[in-house]
Amino acid sequence: MSLIFDLHSHSNISDGLLSPAELVEHAAMHNVDVLALTDHDDTGGLEVAASEAKRLGLQFINGVEISVTWKKRTLHIVGLKIDPQHPPLKFGLESIRAGRHTRAAGMAAGLEKVGIKGSLEGAYQYATEGIIGRIHFARFLVDSGISKDTKSVFKKYLVKGKPGYFEHQWASLEDAVNWIVGSGGVAVLAHPGRYDLGRINMLLLLNEFRALGGAAIEVVTGSHTGAQYVEYAKYAQLFGLKSSQGSDYHGKGLSFMEMGRLPMLPSNCVPVWHDWPEALL
Q: Tell me, what's the pLDDT at 281? A: 61
Once rounded to an integer, what is the mean pLDDT over residues 276-280? 88
Instruction: Assess whether pLDDT exceeds 70 at residue 1.
Output: no
Condensed to tens digits (0 to 9), the pLDDT of residues 161-170 reads: 999 999 889 9
Residue 31 and residue 59 in contact, taking contact as beta carbons nearer than 8 Å: no
Condensed to tens digits (0 to 9), the pLDDT of residues 102-144 reads: 999 999 999 999 999 999 999 999 987 768 989 899 999 999 9
Read off the amino acid at residue 191: H
Q: Tell me the β-bridge partners of 186.
A: 80
Instruction: Assess whether pLDDT exceeds 80 at residue 25.
Output: yes
Q: Would you kindly state where each structural domain of the chain is located, as residue ranges?
A: 5-93+172-280, 98-158
Q: Tell me, what's the pLDDT at 119? A: 97
Once rounded to an integer, what is the mean pLDDT over residues 53-71? 97
Q: For residue 140, give every residue at least 6 positions away whose Cβ sits within 8 Å of its Cβ, in sequence order, or none.
A: 119, 122, 123, 125, 126
Tally Cβ neighbours within 10 Å of residue 194. Answer: 16
pTM of the model: 0.90
Q: Residue ranges of the alpha helices (H) in the chain? A: 20-29, 46-56, 87-113, 119-126, 134-143, 150-153, 173-182, 198-212, 226-239
Condensed to tens digits (0 to 9), the pLDDT of residues 168-181 reads: 899 999 999 999 99
Condensed to tens digits (0 to 9), the pLDDT of residues 225-252 reads: 999 999 999 999 999 999 999 999 999 9
Once rounded to an integer, what is the mean pLDDT over residues 48-72? 97
> In CATH terms, is domain 98-158 a member of 1.10.150.650?
yes
pLDDT class of 191 with cuts at 50, 70, 90: very high
Q: For residue 33, give every residue at least 6 positions away whose Cβ sits within 8 Å of its Cβ, in sequence order, or none.
A: 3, 4, 5, 58, 59, 281
Q: Among 88-92, 141-145, 252-256, which is the least confidently predicted range?
A: 252-256
CATH architecture label of 5-93+172-280: Alpha-Beta Barrel (3.20)
CA atoms within 13 A on the CB side of 260: 11
Q: Tell me, what's the pLDDT at 253? A: 83
Q: Supply the Cα-derived Rg of the chain in whole angstroms.
A: 18
